[in-house]
Amino acid sequence: MHKEHGMVLFLSLIVLLIMTVIGVALAVNSNQSMKMAGAGAERVEAMTAAQGAQDRVISVNGGATLINLASTMVTNDTQLGVTNTLEPIASGCKRREKAHGASIGCNRISVSSTAVFGRNDLGQLTVVTGIEQEFTTGK
């Protein structure tokens, strides 16, 4: 019985070591989960910024600017940190009918908005949409 006095201390140290390892593992797992959640939130924020900048560049450059767009136009939305590219697409009009004696013309434009996000801006997200703007040619 005299030999067993140190055994309880030894077993309690082993249990303490196991509980410490479990605690450290849970802390590391929690830290990784927080990083992943933060990265997901940054991606959603970048998507929202790109879509907002795209809506803004279409609204600001509507009408005559889009009809007369002959070459690629790049704008930077500094408020949202997004680069917008408006690029004319050389293709025919989908609509072929005449409107009140005037021919219908159209311009097709590709609008892409690129936002960067993440640590050191390593993530990049691009939203692309197309516009077909019809107009009468008067012929």
Q: Average pLDDT for residues 10-32, to the nearest whole number?
A: 91
The total number of structural domains that make up the chain: 1
User: For the segment 41-75, what is each residue's pLDDT rounded down to a tens digit?
Assistant: 888 899 999 999 999 988 888 777 777 888 899 99
| CB-based contacts of 67, cutoff 8 Å, min separation 6 | 107, 133, 135
Model pLDDT, residue 70: 83
- Flag whether the pTM goes above 0.85: no
**Parent domain of 34:** 2-136
Do 57 and 86 contact (CB within 8 A), yes or no? yes
Q: 90 vs 37, 93, 105, 107, 130, CA distance in Å?
A: 42, 10, 13, 8, 12
User: For the segment 90-119, what is each residue's pLDDT rounded down to a tens digit?
Assistant: 766 666 666 666 777 778 889 999 999 888
